[in-house]
Amino acid sequence: MNIIDIINKTKRAVPLEEEEIAYLVNGYTKGDIPDYQMSSWLMAVCLNGLTDHETVALTKAMRDSGDVLDLSCIDGITADKHSTGGVGDKTSLIVGPIAAACGVRVPKMSGRGLGHTGGTIDKLEAIKGYRTDLQFEEFAGIVNKAGFAIISQTGSICPADKKIYALRNASGTVDSIPLICASIMSKKLALNADIILLDVKCGSGAFMKTNLEARKLADLMERVGDAAGKKTRAIVTDMDSPLGSCVGNALEVKEAIEVLQGKIKGRLYNVCIELAANLLELSGKGTYGECKSMAEIAVSSGRALDVLRETIRLQGGDPAICDDVSLLPQARFKHEIRASRDVEIVAVNAEEMGMASLLLGAGRLDKDSEIDPTAGIVFDFEVGDKISMDAPLMTLYSTICSDFSEAAVRAYNAITFRDLTASALT
- For the chain, how many residues are written? 426
Is the pLDDT confidence value at 370 over 90?
no
Instruction: Compute the mean pLDDT over every residue in the chain, rounded to the nearest whole number.
Output: 93
pLDDT at 426: 40
Q: For residue 85, what pLDDT band results from cuts at 50, 70 and 90?
A: confident
| Pairwise CA distance, residues 97 & 104, whole Å | 9
Q: What is the Cα–Cα distance from 105 to 77, expressed in whole angstroms?
A: 6
pLDDT interval class at 153 (50, 70, 90) = confident
* Per-position b or e across 90-99, b if 16+ CB within 10 A of its CB: bbbbbbbbbb
Q: How much is the pTM?
A: 0.92
- Residue-range domains of the chain with CATH: 3-63 (1.20.970.10), 79-322 (3.40.1030.10), 330-425 (3.90.1170.30)
pLDDT at position 368 is 65
Q: How confident is residue 123, by pLDDT bands cut at 50, 70 and 90?
A: very high
What does the DSSP 8-state code read for residue 10? H
Query: What residues act catalytically?
Result: 82, 161, 168, 183, 187
CB-based contact 354:247 (threshold 8 Å): yes
User: What confidence category does residue 367 fall into, taking pLDDT thresholds of 50, 70 and 90?
Assistant: low
3-state SS assignment for residue 58: helix
Contact by Cβ (8 Å): 160, 57: no
Separation between Cα atoms, residue 304 and residue 309, nearest integer Å: 9
What is the percentage of the chain residues whose pLDDT exceeds 70? 96
Backbone angle region of 194, left / alpha / beta, with phi > 0 → left and psi within -120 to 50 → alpha: alpha
Closest CA to 252 of 360, 325, 152, 351: 325
For the residues 325-346, what does the mean pLDDT come to?
Answer: 96
The span from the CA of 95 to the CA of 145, in Å, is: 17
Which has more pLDDT, 371 or 45? 45
* Cβ atoms of 90 and 82 closer than 8 Å: no
Confidence at residue 425, expressed as pLDDT on a 0 to 100 scale: 45
